[in-house]
Amino acid sequence: MKKNDLEKDSVRRVKIDDSADGQRLDNFLMARLKGVPKSRIYKLVRGGEVRINGGRAEVSYRLQLGDEVRIPPVRMAAPVITPATHLPQGGIRLVPHILYRDDALIVLNKPAGMAVHGGSGISRGVIEQMRLELPECRYMELVHRLDRETSGVLMIALKRRALVGLHAAMRDGKIEKRYLTLVAGRWPNPTQHVKLPLHKRVDANGEKRVTVRDDGQTAHTIFRRQQAYAPQGDSDPLRAKARVESYAEFTLLEAELKTGRTHQIRVHTSHLGFPIAGDDKYGDFELNKRLARQGLKRMFLHAVKLVFDHPISGEKMLVEAPLPSDLAAFLDTLNA
């Protein structure tokens, strides 16, 4: 065996607790056999080397509380150990950005510029960094996603039961997601329901592209025009009203997602002729250059609020992330 290989020298027997209850066997094994190709894991299962309670099982088997999983010795590439002190892009630690945490769930205020997970040239995203910073958490999975340039509330499950419950709530439309966004142009209606089907494809460069198309997936966004933005902590209604009544070239909108399609808010606003300020994929590129000189260095889209029932206790939860200082400062330039 080469020096950079690692071989487990004994069989592992893992008792299933609530962190893996209901998880597929193949996904369970991939999480515990880092670096082992999926094809190799499938061979282990189909060859009977992996056993559940002493018997064979299919890769699609759903683990149950109390099951014993036999994991055989497997040769794999030695993992690269990254010190928890090594920081991601921009030198940002994520634990200080936690808005809410208990033993089942974390709600994070995700900084702009960080992908939620690694891949496609990104060595480490939010979930990988959180695992480094909180190694005591045995189970940690993203509940949903935000685009790399989008900031704001992001949920991470710390128990399998919480993940399953929150996914079910999302499918049933029981999680309220609200965003703040600044669009080019004067949005005409105080409240507007936009129901335009979205079609997703991958272009020649491997980039996701979404367009409005009749044969696309159902997508529903409720947009509410915001009359004023007051900074966090400013409780004076007259001062808040005096700050902004409207912007000459832009409109601040709250967007409520009734469905959760890829790039949904970005494509809905752009298709209607109101591209998001700073959006480098669906926006107005010449306008974006001007806005960059004015201080807007990224897309103006922020996940501001989540309302949901706690997946374990059932308690009604409301978690908010204030508008980041860079976006608030840019709004100030529009009033200058």
| Chain segment 277-329, per-residue pLDDT in tens | 999 999 999 999 999 999 999 999 999 999 999 999 999 999 999 999 999 99
Tell me if the pTM is above 0.75.
no
CATH code that applies to domain 173-334: 3.30.2350.10
Residue where the block lists tokens 């005591």: 136
> Model confidence over 124-136: pLDDT tens digits?
889 999 999 998 8
Domain 5-76, architecture per CATH = Roll (3.10)
Report which of residues 18 and 196 the model is more confident about. Answer: 196
What is the end-to-end Cα distance of the chain in Å, rounded?
Answer: 67
Residues contacting residue 209 through CB under 8 Å, at least 6 positions apart: 200, 201, 202, 203, 281
Residue ranges, comma separated, of all CATH 3.10.290.10 domains in the chain are 5-76
DSSP 21: T
CA 77 to each of CA 3, 26, 34, 151: distance values in angstroms, whole numbers, following the listed order: 10, 19, 8, 35
Q: To the nearest whole number, what is the mean pLDDT of the chain?
A: 85
pLDDT at 315: 92
Q: Residue 228: pLDDT band by 50, 70, 90 thresholds?
A: very low
Q: Which residues are catalytic?
A: 147
Residue 321: closest CA among 308, 298, 303, 307: 303
- Pair 224, 191: CB distance under 8 Å: yes
> Model confidence over 152-193: pLDDT tens digits?
999 999 999 999 999 999 999 999 999 999 999 999 999 999
Residue 251: closest CA among 334, 321, 146, 177: 334
Residue ranges, comma separated, of all CATH 3.30.2350.10 domains in the chain are 173-334
How many whole angstroms separate alpha carbon 270 and alpha carbon 276? 7
